[in-house]
Chains A and B, each alone.
Chain A
Amino acid sequence: MSTPSEAMSGDISKGLIGGKRIAIIFFAVLAVMMAWRVYQQLFAWDMGMDSFEPEFQTYWMNLLYGQWIVEFVLAAVIWGYLLKTRDKDVFNITPQEELKRMFTLLAWLFCYVWIVYWAASFFAEQDASWHQVTVRDTDFTPSHIVLFYGTMPAYILAGVGAFLYARTRLPQFAENISIPFLVAVVGPFMILPNVGLNEWGHTFWFMEELFTAPLHWGFVVLGWTALGLGGLLIQVVLRMITLTQLDGEVLVTEHMNDEDGSKSGY
Chain B
Amino acid sequence: MSAVHTAITTAEQQHRIYKAFDWIIIPIVVLVIIGANHIHAMLTMGDWDFWIDWKDRRWWVTVTPIALIFFPAALHYILWNNFRLPFGATLATAGLLIGEWANRIANFVGWAYFPLNMVVPAEIIPMALCLDAILLISRSLTMTGVLGAMLWGIIFYPANWVIIAPFHVPIEYNGTMMSLADLIGYNYVRTGTPEYIRIIEEGTLRTFGEDVTPVSAFFAGFISVGAYFLWLGIGKWFGLTTWMKRV
A residues neighboring B (CB under 8 Å): 11-14, 16-17, 22, 37, 40-41, 44, 94-96, 98-99, 103, 106-107, 109-110, 113-114, 116-117, 119-122, 124-126, 128-136, 172, 176-180, 182-183, 208-212, 216-217, 219-220, 223-231, 233-235, 237-238, 240, 242-247, 249, 251, 254, 265-266
Residue B240 is within 8 A (CB to CB) of chain A in the complex: yes
Stretch in B175-183, B186-194, B215-223 with 4+ CB within 8 Å of A: B186-194
A–B complex contacts, Cβ < 8 Å, 21 sampled: A12-B13, A44-B111, A95-B5, A99-B17, A103-B20, A113-B28, A120-B39, A125-B38, A178-B243, A180-B242, A210-B47, A211-B42, A212-B47, A216-B43, A225-B238, A227-B74, A229-B29, A242-B6, A243-B7, A246-B14, A247-B3
**A109 vs B29: C-alpha distance in the bound complex, in angstroms?**
10
**Which residues of chain A are near B32, meaning CB under 8 Å?**
113, 116-117, 226, 229
**Structural contact, A231 and B112, CB atoms closer than 8 A:** no
**Structural contact, A41 and B35, CB atoms closer than 8 A:** no
B residues neighboring A (CB under 8 Å): 1-14, 16-18, 20-21, 23-25, 27-29, 31-32, 34-36, 38-40, 42-48, 50, 63, 70-71, 74-75, 77-78, 81-82, 99-100, 102-103, 106-108, 110-112, 114, 140-142, 190-193, 197, 199, 232, 234-236, 238-247
Known: A116-B36, A125-B46, A234-B82. A22 touches B24 (CB 8 A): yes
**Which residues of chain A are near B38, meaning CB under 8 Å?**
120-121, 124-125
**A140 vs B36: C-alpha distance in the bound complex, in angstroms?**
24
Label chain B's interface by main secondary structure.
helix
Known: A119-B35, A231-B241. A251 touches B2 (CB 8 A): yes
**Which residues of chain A are near B8, meaning CB under 8 Å?**
12-13, 243-244, 246
Known: A41-B111, A247-B2. A117 touches B28 (CB 8 A): no
B75 shortest CB reach to chain A, Å: 8
